[in-house]
Every structure is written in structure tokens, then in C-alpha cells.
Structure 1
Amino acid sequence: MSASIQSYILFSLVADLSLCVVLLLVWLRQRNEWQALFWAASQLALSLGTVAAYLGPDNWLRPLLTSATLTVAVGGIWAGAEYFRGTLQRKVLRPALLAGLAGWAALYAGWLAYPGSLRDSTAALLGLTMLWAGVRLSVRRSYYLPLGLILLARGGFNLLNAMYDLNLDLQFWFAYSVLIKTLTMLWVVAAVQEKIQRRHAHTLDSMTSGLLLVDHHGVVREANRVAARLLDCESAVALVGGQIGDHLSGSLRDLVADYLRDLRGAGACVPLTRNIQLHRQDGVTVPLDVMLSAYEEGRQPCCMLQLIDVSERQQKDQQLYRAAHYDQLTGTFNRSGLLQQLEHCEAPYAVLVVDLDQFQRINDCFGRAVGDQLLLQVSEGLRRQLSQGDLLARLGGNKFALVLHQRVPGSVLPQAELLAARLPRAMHANLAQHEQPVALSASIGIACQPEHGRAAGTLLDFAATAMYTVKKTGRGAFRVFDPAMNLQARDAVRIDAALRQALKAGELHLLYQPIVATADRRLRKVEALVRWHSPTLGSVPPDRFIPVAEESGLVVELGAWVLGEACRQLAAWGPAAGALAVSVNISPRQLTAPGFAAQVRQLLDSHGIAPQRLELELTERVLIDEGQHTREVLAHLSQIGVRISLDDFGTGYSSLSYLTQFRIDTLKIDRSFITDIEHCPRSTNLVTTIVRMGLSLGMELVAEGVETAAQAEALAEMGCHCLQGYVISRPVAADAVPAMVSYGA
């Protein structure tokens, strides 16, 4: 072979190696772009094949090496094109490898038999492969077309050279080779870059929040579709290149302008989060969570602006707020809502608690639906007796509360008595069912502020005490609260003293109520419930002594005993309990007591209990009224691994933001919502909303107070994870739990 041919071949090899280096760099930069590695292997094989064909030994090794490199080159072109199109599947790799080995053997055998066909058959096979790859890429995507055309040109040239022996001038051949390989490098890089950009754009557009990247001059560099929709812009492309201030208004525009000004001055800004009402030019107002954060691009400070539409979240917040503060049947306030309103009321005012006498007879005679209709009419009758600014609430069942504000100077009590006297007549005049009048009487208790107290909850309790006094003395009348009625305070003193003695004397014990999986009714965990039998007071129910303990502060000592006894018993069950967890109620005072988290850790360590087997039940009030200390305690408990449960969910009110700020593992849906899901679509919809919300936040859902099979079936259909209630089991003694673990509740 002449020196000039060798020189041109060497120059061509340099171009081949340059192409291989570029392809390898593309793969190293983007490791998921495997087509670049396949094509690099193919080009390297072509280079080695050229060396073998023209510079290799003139014996049996030449066809062996040439056929091997040609097989690798063809396979690399095929695999790269298929991977680039996204059609290369793992299941075809083994058949393709076997086919490649068979092809290599066939080529080698053919070239041993016909050595003169090596050059033309090689060019023909490469040409056909490149033509096939070019066609595959050209018809797939628009940004594949240039690369496909390059492969078509390379394949066509090789095929023509094989068919007609073009016998080109070496300089022309070298120039063509360098040009076509340079174009290949450029279009491979361009196609990969286009693919990355499209993937990046798709990622941005798939986000549920709006995203804009803005430089320090306020020019939008990048935006997604959600941002364009929120800002009422025709497309994301229309946002890019424009000033961000042109698409914003009001407080949002001022917020972004101030942030960019700080960005230009200091060059770095702390992340900023705001909740803003965006007033668009089309008249629509969109509530947004706006997040601004600084980053650097090309050594220039830039801003990332994220816009999150919180309309749906606010609607859910409003639903939960209404469920927590309003009665579902009558639309009036419930107890929680009434107390919240009273916090803002100015004295003097009177509270009237109205209880319909023997209302259960109506439900028994006419059914619950008729009873609900009567309650609706009662609420309307009561509402008509009130003036603007007065309040009406349904406290539950057939009990209502009215708040009467002072209308004339002096005590509000005479006005309250006049109202109480005419309320029964107002209810009688508007009620008839089943073509016969329904006679209703009511027992009414009255408490006034400031005569009987100043705290809203206390006044409500005093009015209820007066109402129960009427019940005991014959019904159908009203009474004003008298301090002599308040035996509860005296009873609380007795209970407090006896409870302190009970803690020392060991009079308390725990029962355990099973909590089972909805799907298979297997026992998942038990809730520890404290019980007290006093030698002097007899059996004292928890709703009688726990509020006393809360008020006196004894609940911290009581809660410590319950927690310690529950952990001791969980350890005592041993292997018989399997992975059973125990749930313990924790009061706000106990949670914030010094060293509580350390106490929990010490109990777990001393009894050898895995942290995830202990669940601490908190109320929503803990989250609403939480301070920094509470936040730190909950964070410490989460680090330990203890599970946190939110008890009686829905009876209070906590914004969804609280559920995202704390690690809540379990939501326990209050029994008051479960009771009506068989009969009340509103209750069903509310429970469904709570279940879906909990599932979306990755929480476990437990329904409390499940008393019928129909309720359990409805909750299973909603997707609730666990059930607790009398339909499963009443609270049981500790020695009954292992059998339930083995055989189910």
C-alpha cells in the first residue's frame, strides 16, 4: 500500500477517534444517553476495521478482525438508533447478541472463501445498516431528522461505492469523510441537547405549581405552563424574554420587585414565602402560596419564583372549618363554633341552653328522619326569636344554645327570662308532622355574663347545669343558674383528692380496646384506656375524673402512670403480641412537661420496646396552640421513632398547614362523624373527604366509635385503614389481648 493511502487512512482514523471522543463525552455528561456510547463503540469498531482491512496482515487474521469489527459496528448503529428512538427493549438484547455472533461467523466464513469480496461487502453491509438507521430516525421526531439525513447520506455513499466502485480521488474521499463525520458529531450533540431540553420542558410542565426563573433585571428566562395559566398568559413561551412585572399586579408585583431589588444589591437573599391573593386582569382572584429563592446562573444572581394555587386547599380548609364549627343538620354553630364566637363578644350577654324534653319518643315513634325535620323547624323557630348579633348553636342531639346580647341598659337577665318564657310557644306554633300536631316542651337554663362568670365555656356549663336542674324538677320550665347548683365544683374537689390517693394506692388499671385492620380484621394495635374503681366513690368513669385531673394538673402524674403501665404490659406480652402496637393518650400538659421526650425514650429502652410499637395520641388543640417548646418535643419524639396520632380529628379545627408542618402518622376520625354515615350524606361526604385527605398525606386512618357492620363496610369502601369500636370489641383486660393477636379481634 502506498504511503499516501496510509496517510489518508491515518487522517481518517484521527477523525474517527475525534468522533468517538465527542460521543463518549456526551455519554459521560448524560449517563442516560446510552445511544452515544453505542455509536462510539460502532465508530471505534469501524476505525479498527479500517486498520485491519488496509493495514493488517494479509492472511486469515484480516477477515477475522474485519468481520468482528464490522459486526460490532453494525450492532452499535442498530442499538444506538433503537435506544435513541426509545424502542430498545431488554428482551431483544440476547437474541440480537446471538444474531451478531452468527453474522460474525457467516462473514468470516464468506471472506475466507472469497477474500476479494471483503471491501465491497463491508461497504454494502455498513451502507444498508446506516440507511435503515437513517430511515428509523427520520420518521420518528422532527429533531431526529438532521441526524437521520446524515446517516442516510453515509449509508447511501457506502452502498453506491460497494455497487459501482466509485474509485474516488483520495483527497475527495478524505474531505468527504471528515465532513460527514464532523456533521455527525454536530447533529448528535444537537439532537441530544434537544432531547434534554424537551425532557426539561416536559418536567417543568408536569409540575402542579407554576415556576418562573427570572434574572436580577426581572427578565423571565424560563417558565412552565402552570405559571402561564395562573398569570393568564397565552403560553409559557410568551412569558420568556419579557419583564416579570408586566404579568403581575398588586402585592405580588411589589413583593417580586422588592426581592429583585435586594437581589441586585446584596446578590443573595434568603428564601421567602408569602400567601397572596393574585388579582388577574381577567377579574379572577387566585389565592397563591408564593415562594421566592435566589440562585446563581453564570455568576449572575437570579430568582426562582414558584406559584402554588391553594384554592382547593382553602376549600378543604373551609369544609373542615365548617364541619368543626357548624352543625351539619341545622347549619347553626356547634359548641366549638359558639365558644369561638363568644371569645369576641362584649359583655353583658346571657347564655340560654334549651333542651327538648323527651325528644327520643319522637324518634322512636316517627323515625330519625322525622326527628331531624323537627330539629330543623325548632332551629328556625329559635332563630326567629333572636335579634341581629345574637347567636344560635346546636350543642348536639336535641340541645340548643342561644346567646342574647344586651338590648337595653341594665342587667341582661330580665331580657333572657322574657325570651325563655316565649321560646316554648314559638316552637309549638310551627311544628306539625304526619297530619297531627307535635307538642314539644323544653327545659331551659340561663347564665349571665358578668353576673355568673366571664369565661364563655364556664357560662355555657352553668346554663347547662341550670337546665339539668329543670329536668330533675319536672321539665318544661326555665331556671337561672344559682351557685348552689354547682355541685360539680365540690365533686371535683372530692375526685381530685381521691385520685391522688388512688395513684399511690394502685386503684387504677388499664383496659385495652382493639384496633383492627379494615381489610382482614387482624389486630394491629390496642388503645390503652385508664379505669378507676374507688373504695369510697365506687366506679368513677374517665369523663368524670380526667377533666378534674386536667384542671388540677394531676394529669401529668396520671399520664405518666398510664404510659409506664402500657409500656410495661406491652413488654410483658412478649412474643405472644407479635408486632402489636399500643396507643396511649397524651394530654397537652403532659406533652409540655419538662423531660417528657426523655421519659418516653427511657421507657422504651428499659422495656426493650421498638419505638414504632408505641403511638402517642394528641388532640388537635395541641397543634393549634403549640409553642416552640411543643414543636421541639414533637420533633424529638419523631426522631426517636415514636408514632404520633391525631385523636378525635374533626371535632376541633386545624388548618391543613398544621398537618404538613408536623409528622402525623395517624388520623383518628371522631366517632361523632362515624355515627351518621349510614343515614346522613353530609356525614358520609365529610368522612370521605377526611379519608382522602389523610391518604394523600400518607397517613394511617382509624375510625373511632364503629358500632355497626354497615358502618364498617362503608368505611372499608372509603379506604379507611383501621376500625375501632364496639362492633369490633369492647375494651378488654390485658390477659385477653394475646389470644386476639393469634385469632383476630
Structure 2
Amino acid sequence: MQRKEKHALFWGIGQLAVMSGSAVWLLGDFLLPIPWRFYFCGFSLAIGMAGYWAGTQFFIGKLRSMHMRLLIPGIISGGLIFSLLWNTNGSWLVPGSALGIGLMMFWAGLRLFAVEHRYRILGLTLMLRGGFNLIIAATFQTEVYVAWFIGSGCLKVLSMLGLVYAVQDEIQQRYARTIDSLSHGFLIRDRRGYVHVANERCARLLGFNTAQELIGLHVCDLLPHLTRDMADQYFRRFEAEGVQYPIADTAVMRLRNGNSLPVELLGSPYIERGRLYCLVQLLDISERKKKDDLLYQAARIDSITGFFNRYALTARLTQALEQAAADGRECAVLFIDLDKFKRVNDSFGHAAGDELLRTAANRLHGLLRPQDVLARFGGDEFIVVIPDLPPGSAAQMGVDCAVAIINAMRKGFELSYHTISASASVGIACYPNHGSDSETLIRNADIAMYEAKKAGRAEQRVFYDAMNAAAKDGLVIDGALRGAIEANEFHLVYQAITNAHTGKLTKVEALLRWHSSLLGPVPPDRFIPVAEDSGMIIELGTWVLEQACRQMGAWKQGTLDDVTISINVSAWQLADPGFVKLVSQALIRNDLAPHQLELELTERVLIEDAANVQAVLGQLRALGVGISLDDFGTGYSSLSYLTQFHLNTLKIDRAFVMDIEHSERSNNLVHAIIAMGHSLGLQLVAEGVETAGQAAILEKMGCHYLQGYHISRPIPPAELLRFADQRISMAPAPHGDFAI
């Protein structure tokens, strides 16, 4: 049945050969003449001995291919020798055969007895058979043939039983070692819930010493909190039709020692003798659950403050609104923004800013009730949810809490050995008056917060419908943007960027301006966010790219032939699959060298879809176009971008430049940025240069280029050309003294 159990095949051949030789000898008068019977019996004896020898050698793992090659020659040689002996003296046949088989069996029994404990019964029976045959060979008489036959038959039965025991024990040991080697628990239970098989890992998981202790116990005896109904219900799932196996479940088991064990259960059916059993694997998922809990917490908890993040806030607010709707209660949502938080980051660094956020969050939490929810919404923004309020009280409760928050923030914060004054602006929206879902309430509270900022900061405002004017204004702008390009309502102005040492005009930045026929002049900070939200920024960006390159092409024949033109690029444009091709075509159409175009990116652009941005920037760099990071230092991760993205230029934000004459900290910070840029081989542009003193300091620090009102305001192309001519006609002077 099992081809790998070749010892049974060899022993079977040996036994069959011996039985055939005996039968032919006893019935030979009717079958073969005497000489041929001698040959037949001789070869039968040789085959029998070879079969027992090969079976024994295979059983103990000592049979080699070399032995197999010698087996046939050995049988032929032995058969010829035995045949010649029998032909010489026929009376030697029976005792000689008994002697040969007896010696072989006795040898086989000794070999098996000495190898494995589980082979000893089989070895002992073979030794008895061999010894019995040797006794018969020594004292054989025809009249004791019946006794010899009966004795041999009994011993054969015993040896077969020994063989069955050895093989079964071997299979059982193999099976037991297999399941014990599993890294997870394993047990087999029947319909009633009793355990039939278990491995050592299962015993250890369930708090037992050995697997044997589990055998015969009901599964409810293994787990104190498991009831028989629960055990029966689990088993019935294996009797249902159409079930996909294995059945996977996760559970937290309560063990006998009181500990909890999170496990994954994998159940499969098993049928034995017509009865259904259940094979259950128990996987200890303690480590996985710890990781899942950490991931779950990381997804819900803000890493800086330790309170809820935006995702968790939305879930909790939705839950609070559902409960309020069911109970006829109200909720208040407070949107809190720390005023002038950016100054803390700019002046003291982001570590100080993070410490301020943590301190502010703890101070906010100390003002709230246990059931209230506090979350960091992003940046320096927090949201407080005050749930389960009586009807008609949400607005007043929100105002009271907002006033307490504003007063608490006014107390100042101790950061970096400095006392920093901070304030908070708070917007309030209430359920159900100002919205019935979390998104609407948060948005309206945000609108109210901006109204509080407009009122002078450190103020609170409750949302009212008129505050939606800004949102409606966005819709008006969105409508006016449609068709503005076709109506030629956009134009570009250019701001000069000069060499800090020589004052030479080396770069210009193209800036977009819009004069709407419907709205009049609209500043970029008003229409650019609307264009990004609507997706129109791609069309606008394409127009700016083409117009700037066309203007640069027109300048090539004059004073500005070697100037680099810089344009701003949005995340939407970088995500456009055809953007690199658009850039390439614009350069070719206007006969520009790639290095004459520089694309300015903000840190926010790099944050969004970083992998795609990195790939696009690689293509642009391969094209030869310059890449500049605008407003460097104003975000959380600027330094990481210097290593992650291959940039050509850093533009130092005006927030750092404006105080370098009067603030040692700002001066040192700008100096550090310039030194770092030099070490990375980057070009540095200082934005917002408004005084000759600032220009002189920056030139002395080693800043390469200057941009700002001290150099030039954004001006039309013709004025920029005159500006460039004026620079050439006048003698070079340091620090941008020829500013207009």
C-alpha cells in the first residue's frame, strides 16, 4: 500500500519463497521430478534468506544501492550451492532449509532488537522463529512435522503482529513528531468536544505541562470561560454546506491561570471511520496583536500631543452625533487655532514648536470634562467636541469653554528658557443648528475661527450663516476662472533676482496676475487655492509655462539672453502624466536651453505623492531643467527633502530674512542655512530682501542671489528690460545698491 515500506515487500517475497519451496517439496511427487525439486527448493531457500536479509537491512535503514546490485548474484550463487547440496544428499534438504532460515531469522531479530525500542517485539518474535527453526534443524523427525508446522504458524502470526506494531508505532511516532514540530498549537476534537490528539505547543499555550494531559478532556475543561453550547456551536459550523475551509477565527482565550491569550483558530474537518472530527490549529497572535494595537493607535493618536488625530476625531464626532440624534441632545464643536504659531517655529525651531503643541494640548485637556473629546486637527489646530448637552445649551456651553481656553492660553508658555506668549482663536459650531454631520460642523467651526482671527485674534465666534460668504466667494471665483484664459484676463509680471556679489541680473521669477472683468483685480492668494481645488491649476500652469518661455525667447536677442526664468509649479501639475513633455515642448518651441528654465516647488508639493514627485523630478533633471525649493524652512520636513530630492536651488523664506539685521537668532539661522546649502552644492536665493543692510549681510554670509523689493518689485516685461539695461550701463556695486 505504501511503496516506501519496502521491507514488507522484501519480507513478503522471502516468506512466499519459503512457502513455495515447502509446498513443492511436500507435493513434489505430483509436480516435479526429484532433481528439479532440489533445484527449486535450493533457489527458494536462497530467495527466502535474501528477502529476509534485504527487508531487515531496509527496515533499519542500512540497505544500500551496492547491496541491491549484489542481491541477484547472491541469490543465484546461494541457489546453486543449496541445489548441489540437496542433490548430493536429499535428506539434508529439510533440516538444512530450517537451519538456513533459522539463522537468517535469528540474525534479523538480533539486528532489530538492538536498533530501536519499538522494534524489540518484532525482533524478539523473529529470534523465537529463528531459534525454533534451529531446534527443528537439529532434532528434526518426520513424526514431529505437524508440531513443527503448528509452532512455525504461531510464530509467524506473532512476527506479523510484531511487524504491525513496529510499523504502526513508527507511523505514530512520525505523526506525533510532525505535529509536535509545528510552531503553533494543534488538537483534534470530536463532536462531543473531547480532545483525541494534541501537540506539546498546544499544551503550553493552554497552560498545561504535557500534551498527554489534554487527551480525553473536554474543550470546556481547557478553557474555563468556554461553555458547552459555545463548543457545540463551533462544531456545527463544520457540518454546514458550502463552508470554505479552513474556518478562520480570532479570539482572546481566558486560560486556567487567569491570563488572556489572543489566538487565531484555523479549523478543518476530518473524517475517521465515518465520524466527523475537527482539526484545530491555535496560532499565538500576541505579537501580531501588539503590532496591530500599535498601528491602530498610530492611526488614531497624534504622535506629538498624544491625543486623538483627525481620523479618530471624525469617528468619535460621528458617534457622538448619532447618540445625540437618538437621545434628542446637542453637541458643540470648537475649532481652535494657536495664533502666530509659525513665529515660534521660525524663531525657536520645530522642537520648541512641538513642545508648545504638547503643553497647549495638556492645558486644553485640563479644561474639559471626562466625556469631552480633544484632537489635534493638524498643524497648530485643535478641535474639542463637547457631547451630550441639553437642548438649547450647546452654543452657551461652547462659548464658556472657548472663553476658558482663550484665558488659559494667555498665561504664556515656558519654552527654551523663554516665556512665550501665545493666544488662541476659537470658532464654535453646534449640532443640530449648524450642521448634522461631522464634516459640516468642522467646516463651519473652521469658518467661525477665521472670523475670530479677523476680529483681532484671541477671540471666539459662534458660526452663523453669513459666515459662508467666504465659501460663496470661492464659488464666485471658481465661476469667474472658467474662461478667464480665453478672455486674456491673465498676465505675467517679473521680479528680478540678482547676483548678491556683483548685482548682475541673473534670474527672474514669473508671477501670475489676474484682472477679472467681473471681479476686478484678484490677488493670487485668493484665486490660486480655488484653482487648485477645482483642478484648473493645470490649465493655468500650462499657460504660465508657455507664456514665460515665450517671453524668455523674445528676450534672447537682447540684454536678457543668458537669464534664467523661474516659475512656480503646483502638485497638480507634477501629477499630470504629460507635464514633462509639456516642459520639453515649450523649451523647443521657444529655442531655450533647458538650464534657462527653473521650476519652483513648495514643500507641500513635495509632501503629496512623494514617490511620483521624485520620479517626475528625475525626468526633469535629466532634461536639464533646474529645480528650486521655495520658502525653505517653513515646514516640518525641509531637511529630509534635501536628501530625498535632488534640488538645484534653495530659496530662503522671507520670514528668516526680515529680522537678520536686528535678531541674532535669525541671523544665525540664515547663516546656518547658507552654510548647509554650500555643503550640499546648492544655489541659495534670499527672498524678501527689503533693505541694503539685509543685502550686505546676506552677501557677506555667502548667499548667491537676492530677491525682494530692495532689488525690484514685480514689473512688466518692458520695465524689466529697462532695469536690466540700467544695470549694465552702471558700474557694478555690491549689495544691490541699484535697486528700483
Counterpart in 2 of 1:319? Answer: 294
CA distance in 1, matches of 2:161, 2:151: 15
1:393 matched to 2:375: yes
Which of 162, 166, 173 is the equivalent residue of 2:148? 173
CA distance in 2, matches of 1:195, 1:497: 87
Counterpart in 2 of 1:35? Answer: 7
> Shift of the alpha carbon at 1:79?
5.0
Q: Residues 625-645 of structure 1: CA distance to partner in whole angstroms, max 9, x if unpaired?
A: xxxxxxxxxxxxxxxxxxxxx
Which of 50, 55, 70 is the equivalent residue of 2:46? 70
- The answer to whether the 8 Å contact 2:254/2:260 transfers is yes
Alignment of 1:564-603 (within 5 A): none
CA distance in 2, matches of 1:59, 1:540: 114
Which of 439, 449, 454 is the equivalent residue of 2:431? 449
> Shift of the alpha carbon at 1:149?
1.7
SS at match of 1:344: helix
Q: For 1:333, give the aligned amino acid.
A: F
Instruction: Mark the structure with the bigger radius of gyration.
Output: 2
- The answer to whether the 8 Å contact 2:477/2:530 transfers is no
Say which is worse superposed, 311-320 or 490-499, in terms of deviation. Answer: 490-499
Identity %: 33
SS at match of 2:149: helix
CA distance in 2, matches of 1:406, 1:338: 16
Change (3 A) 1:381 1:463: same
Counterpart in 1 of 2:160? Answer: 185
Alignment of 1:331-370 (within 5 A): 331-345=306-320, 346=324, 347-357=329-339, 359=341, 362=344, 368-370=350-352
> Shift of the alpha carbon at 1:391?
1.0
- The answer to whether the 8 Å contact 1:81/1:137 transfers is yes
Q: For 2:74, give the aligned amino acid.
A: G
CA distance in 1, matches of 2:280, 2:335: 50
- The answer to whether the 8 Å contact 1:356/1:442 transfers is yes
Say which is worse superposed, 402-411 or 144-153, in terms of deviation. Answer: 402-411
Q: For 1:400, give the aligned amino acid.
A: F
- The answer to whether the 8 Å contact 2:335/2:428 transfers is yes
> Shift of the alpha carbon at 1:295?
7.9
> Shift of the alpha carbon at 1:360?
5.5
CA distance in 2, matches of 1:348, 1:108: 105
Counterpart in 2 of 1:642? Answer: none
Alignment of 1:258-277 (within 5 A): none
> Shift of the alpha carbon at 1:326?
2.0
1:211 matched to 2:211: no
> Shift of the alpha carbon at 1:297?
6.2
Counterpart in 2 of 1:103? Answer: 74
CA distance in 2, matches of 1:63, 1:496: 113
Alignment of 1:295-694 (within 5 A): 304=278, 306=280, 308=282, 312=286, 314-345=289-320, 346=324, 347-357=329-339, 359=341, 362=344, 368-405=350-387, 410-423=392-405, 426-427=408-409, 429=411, 431-467=413-449, 478-486=460-468, 487-488=470-471, 491=474
Q: For 2:366, give the aligned amino acid.
A: R
Q: Which runs of 5+ in 1 are unaligned?
A: 1-27, 500-535, 547-564, 567-671, 676-703, 708-723, 737-745
Q: Residues 505-529 of structure 1: CA distance to partner in whole angstroms, max 9, x if unpaired?
A: xxxxxxxxxxxxxxxxxxxxxxxxx
CA distance in 2, matches of 1:413, 1:385: 17
> Shift of the alpha carbon at 1:452?
1.7
- The answer to whether the 8 Å contact 1:470/1:477 transfers is yes
SS at match of 2:306: coil
CA distance in 2, matches of 1:318, 1:107: 75
CA distance in 2, matches of 1:542, 1:103: 93
Q: Residues 67-111 of structure 1: CA distance to partner in whole angstroms, max 9, x if unpaired?
A: 58736753x4455445545x46xxx75323223245346546766
Change (3 A) 1:112 1:191: closer
Q: For 2:413, give the aligned amino acid.
A: L
Q: For 2:376, give the aligned amino acid.
A: R
Q: Residues 512-549 of structure 1: CA distance to partner in whole angstroms, max 9, x if unpaired?
A: xxxxxxxxxxxxxxxxxxxxxxxx99998886569xxx
- The answer to whether the 8 Å contact 1:213/1:223 transfers is no
CA distance in 1, matches of 2:352, 2:249: 49
Change (3 A) 1:539 1:473: closer
SS at match of 1:349: strand
CA distance in 1, matches of 2:130, 2:204: 47
CA distance in 1, matches of 2:107, 2:85: 26
Say which is worse superposed, 330-339 or 184-193, in terms of deviation. Answer: 184-193
SS at match of 1:413: helix
> Shift of the alpha carbon at 1:455?
0.7
- The answer to whether the 8 Å contact 1:395/1:401 transfers is yes
> Shift of the alpha carbon at 1:175?
2.6
Q: Residues 343-384 of structure 1: CA distance to partner in whole angstroms, max 9, x if unpaired?
A: 232343322233445656655665555544443223212211
Q: For 2:362, give the aligned amino acid.
A: E
CA distance in 1, matches of 2:57, 2:347: 77
Change (3 A) 1:212 1:469: same
CA distance in 1, matches of 2:457, 2:304: 25
Give the TM-score taking structure 1 as reference length: 0.52
CA distance in 1, matches of 2:58, 2:347: 75
CA distance in 2, matches of 1:113, 1:297: 55
Q: Residues 132-174 of structure 1: CA distance to partner in whole angstroms, max 9, x if unpaired?
A: 543443344433220122233344556x579x84546433432
- The answer to whether the 8 Å contact 1:452/1:459 transfers is yes
SS at match of 1:186: helix
Q: Residues 687-717 of structure 1: CA distance to partner in whole angstroms, max 9, x if unpaired?
A: xxxxxxxxxxxxxxxxx95x5xxxxxxxxxx
Say which is worse superposed, 136-145 or 183-192, in terms of deviation. Answer: 136-145
CA distance in 2, matches of 1:728, 1:78: 72
Q: Which runs of 5+ in 2 are unaligned?
A: 483-516, 518-526, 537-575, 578-603, 624-740
Change (3 A) 1:100 1:295: closer
Q: Residues 472-517 of structure 1: CA distance to partner in whole angstroms, max 9, x if unpaired?
A: 8886655544544545467579979999xxxxxxxxxxxxxxxxxx
- The answer to whether the 8 Å contact 1:381/1:430 transfers is no
Q: Residues 37-60 of structure 1: CA distance to partner in whole angstroms, max 9, x if unpaired?
A: 333233334445667889677669
CA RMSD after TM alignment: 5.4
Change (3 A) 1:125 1:283: same
CA distance in 2, matches of 1:170, 1:353: 109
Which of 77, 86, 94 is the equivalent residue of 2:65? 94
Change (3 A) 1:156 1:449: same
SS at match of 1:189: helix
> Shift of the alpha carbon at 1:342?
1.3
Change (3 A) 1:383 1:259: closer
Counterpart in 2 of 1:11? Answer: none
SS at match of 1:338: helix
Change (3 A) 1:150 1:489: farther
CA distance in 1, matches of 2:277, 2:400: 66
> Shift of the alpha carbon at 1:453?
0.9
- The answer to whether the 8 Å contact 1:212/1:224 transfers is no
- The answer to whether the 8 Å contact 2:112/2:122 transfers is yes
SS at match of 1:350: strand
> Shift of the alpha carbon at 1:328?
3.1
